Amino acid sequence: MYRFATETVQLTDRETEVLGFIALGLSAKEVALKLSISPCTVERHIENARLKTRTRNRTHMIAYTLRRGMLP
């Protein structure tokens, strides 16, 4: 059984947007093309969100955000 922290994690609109695309299976390069930003910027948004959610990797982060209804 998993226990979830009660603290609130606040992601920026752009972090949420990027994670939504990542959750759909898009690569950082594909997300960058859709949003007209660089792949490095996409990676930075992903890493910032990972640090805010205190998750170990992308898969863990996506599962965390989906369970908490943080993604559209």
Cβ–Cβ under 8 Å, residues 28 and 39: yes
Annotated domain spans of the chain: 14-67
Q: Which helix (H) or strand (E) holds 51?
A: helix 39-53
10 vs 72, residue with greater confidence: 10
Q: What is the CATH number of domain 14-67?
A: 1.10.10.10
How confident is the model over 23-35, as pLDDT tens digits?
Answer: 999 999 999 999 9
For residue 61, what pLDDT is reported?
96
How far apart, in whole angstroms, are the C-alpha atoms of residue 20 and residue 2?
Answer: 23
pTM score of the predicted model: 0.86
